[in-house]
Copies of this chain bind each other. A is one copy, B any other.
Amino acid sequence: MKAVLLAAGEGKRLRPFFSRPKPLVPLLGLALIQRNILALRDCGIKEFIIITGYQAEEIEEYLGTGEKLGVQISYLHNAEWQLGNGVSAYTLRQNHFADEKYILMMADHVFEIDVIKSFLTAAQTLEAGEVLLAADRRLEQVYDLDECTKVKGQDDFALRLGKDLQDYNAVDCGLFIGSQALLDALGKAVSQGRYTLTDGVNLLAESRKVRLFFLEGNWVDVDDLESYKYAEKMLLKSLVPPKDGLISRTFNRPLSLRITKVLAKTAVTPNQITWCSFFVAVLSAICFAVVNPILAGLLTQFASILDGVDGEIARLKFMRSNYGGLLDAILDRYGDFLIIIGMTYAWYTAAADPLALGIGAAALTGIPLSMLFKEKFHALTGKPYIPEIHDGITRYLPANRDGRLFIIFLGGIFNLLPLALAVLAIITHLQAWWRLYNARRII
């Protein structure tokens, strides 16, 4: 399926704040239109048609052929963009591709990626001659309801759309699956002097050809500074994975998201952050070894927070890679090992207690077991091991990385290294044996 992005409008209300045309306004490190292209690319779409109007050259210059983004982009220009977005959409007739379906998206709308994925899945069942429109019926949580195009729907079909509709039960999210039928309707509307996309869609709605897809996730039409800030918040919030551990969710994420918000606007890559988190862990290990446990503990927690940032940037900027996943996994283990060795060294040199060596060895061997188990489970069953679901009662043990590093943090700032090491040794091995026992049931 091809994607058609409408990027012809002027975006007056954002102009005072940005020197670029609205589709190129940067949001968390990506231009609005670039984010949509990358999101659609992640859904498997490789061919894009961008309809330009206002400041067309700047947009074409910025995106080029799409090669840098790993897609193919061609452009259609609508010199009469000021008439309305229906006229812009209608320029698509110049690049007509028979009755092939296409996804039509406003360049300046921002969606959580899962919304686009499920919309495309729903598109597969669309019948010939129909248009699919993403609509939101959760009116109480729609952002800036006044500005939205309202939809009066019945069953799964739109009856009527309009900005000033009084009787409505959903709003238009600016995301369509169109085909030749939509172009025909737009042509008819334009010939009648009605120039908005809504005008064309209304002609189809009259004959019950506009099927509604009620989305579940978040989206926003970035129109002014408030909606821009809302989009930032929404995207950052969407970065928290559902299987996050307790410490990560309550303690690390609020901080890592702030760091991500800053770093997203730079050219820093996720892998660079992974390395950075590793070096902070090395520093922490050295601080433990030279008996500065408070600083060491703080650095450990900082490494733990940074350990979230690489993934957040990767998801936010569509920079996920298998290599990044591998690098993160191995460097995390090295960081953990070095910190444990630093702590054990500090304890043993201070107290010359052989117990330090025993507990240190137990903690050192316990550390990799969680990942070993999870990855082996994944490789064997093809399904990820999710502690929150599979660990049963032991999911409350802080034996995953966020929890383990938090124990080290506490051990550092309260200068209780023997206790922290003992707790780590016990919970990691306890978790491993419990998982092994439990695996019989869940595998």
Contacts and interface: CB of A to CB of B under 8 A. Distances in A.
Interface of A: 321-323, 325-327, 329-330, 333-334, 337, 341, 344, 348, 357, 360-361, 364-365, 368-369, 371-373, 375-381, 384, 432, 436, 439-440, 443
A329 B369 CA distance: 10
A86 to B, nearest CB: 45
Residue from A326, A364, A372, A378 having most chain B Cβ neighbours under 10 A: A326
A376 B436 contact: no
A79 to B, nearest CB: 47
Contact of A364 (B323, B326, B365, B381): B365
What 9 A-B pairs are tightest by C-beta distance, nearest first? A375-B375, A378-B379, A337-B365, A322-B380, A368-B368, A329-B376, A322-B443, A325-B380, A323-B443
A327 B436 contact: yes
Contact of A373 (B326, B365, B381): B326
A251 to B, nearest CB: 26
A380 B369 CA distance: 18
A395 to B, nearest CB: 18
B357 A326 contact: no
A206 to B, nearest CB: 48
Query: Which of A327, A369, A375, A432 has the most C-beta atoms of chain B within 10 angstroms of its own C-beta?
Result: A375
A333 B428 CA distance: 14
B364 A432 contact: no
A37 to B, nearest CB: 24
A83 to B, nearest CB: 50
A365 B341 CA distance: 10
Nearest to A440: B323
17 contacts: A321-B443, A325-B376, A326-B373, A326-B443, A327-B439, A330-B369, A330-B432, A333-B368, A333-B369, A341-B361, A361-B364, A364-B365, A368-B372, A371-B376, A375-B375, A375-B378, A379-B379
Greatest chain B CB density within 10 A among A334, A344, A361 is at: A361
A372 B436 contact: no
A376 to B, nearest CB: 5
Given A333-B369, A361-B364, A365-B337, A326 B375 contact: no
A330 B373 contact: yes
A361 B361 CA distance: 8
A46 to B, nearest CB: 21
Nearest to A429: B334
Contact of A439 (B326, B341, B364): B326
Contacts of A373: 326, 329-330
Given A330-B432, A333-B369, A436-B327, A376 B375 contact: yes
Contacts of A334: 365
Nearest to A323: B443
A344 B372 CA distance: 23
A288 to B, nearest CB: 14
The CB with the most chain B CB atoms within 10 A, among A325, A371, A372, is that of A372
Contacts of A357: 348, 357
Contacts of A348: 357
Given A379-B379, A380-B322, A439-B326, A372 B432 contact: no
A380 B374 CA distance: 12
Contacts of A443: 321-323, 326
A173 B443 CA distance: 38
Contacts of A321: 443
Nearest to A341: B361
A348 B373 CA distance: 31
A171 to B, nearest CB: 39
